[in-house]
Amino acid sequence: MTNDYQTLELERDGPALRVWLNRPARRNAINPRMLSEVGDLFQSLEKEFDVRVVLLGGRGASFCAGADRKAPITGEALPQPTNEREKRWLTHLGRRACRAIEKCEAVTIARVQGHAIGGGCCLALSCDFRVAAQDSIFRVPEVDLGIPLTWAAVPRLLDEIGAARTRELVLLCGDVRADQAMAWGMIHRCVAPEALDAEVDKIVQTLLDKPELALHMAKTNLRGYARLRSLGDASETDGDLYALAQSSEEFRQRFSMKPGSNSSDDREQ
């Protein structure tokens, strides 16, 4: 397994792998490089048979503050697409990253502190388990920014929290604090910030203590039933919807880069 990533940091602890979003100066705001690396990493774990549990966390104050609205850091920009097919492929990076996490052969745990905004919320929701600090905030601001929620997040939310809560989260774009997220079923544990690592470690150890093959087969079984939602799932066109929305004047006005902004919503800065 390579550790040659620009936006991620990997820590191996026996059968557990800790994957850190590693752009703390920008609150781990998402750029295409990060999405590409997350997707590549989780896809590569298919043949890492000695990795049983994967933790996804964020370095610094926040798990992930949403889309990066600042100019790219030197060396992090992806090459410009050379044709329309490659351009379309790039619009699906977020969906591919989330799908790669969701399909990971190992059990996955999201460790959330600070903010999990937009795409950051999607990455966390793609994990099997979510553990959040009590002062963390979840938000999906896409509609306020003039774009639909894509990345196959809508069917995932419908499965995890139901239609009514999904409607509230996606259409009203409000803050969801950790205790409310716990009540909705968005997260599995809500703990004091100082207890976050201990709670995550407890779940990791509980999983590692279970029979390896039975745990893997149980996750495979659960994942198989979850595929029922893919019948009629329109998320294959999510990237196209996103690209179309980006061409609107309203999106350009709402999502234009502003001095000092790191994310998809200035309020958390």
In a domain, 3, yes or no: no
In a domain, 1, yes or no: no
The residue type at 251: F
- Host domain of residue 56: 8-199+207-268
In a domain, 223, yes or no: yes
Strands 16-21, 53-58: parallel, antiparallel or unpaired by DSSP?
Answer: parallel
User: What's the number of domains the chain is made of?
Assistant: 1
Q: What is the CATH number of the domain that holds 87?
A: 3.90.226.10
Q: What is the pLDDT along the chain (269 residues), one digit of tens a residue?
A: 777 899 999 999 999 999 999 999 999 999 999 999 999 999 999 999 999 999 999 999 999 999 998 878 877 889 898 899 988 889 899 999 999 999 999 999 999 999 999 999 999 999 999 999 999 999 999 999 999 999 999 999 999 999 999 999 999 999 999 999 999 999 999 999 999 999 999 999 999 999 999 999 999 888 877 766 655 566 767 777 777 777 788 887 887 755 444 444 443 33
| Sequence-distant (≥ 6) Cβ neighbours of residue 28 within 8 angstroms | 21, 22, 34, 58, 59, 60, 62, 63, 64, 65, 120
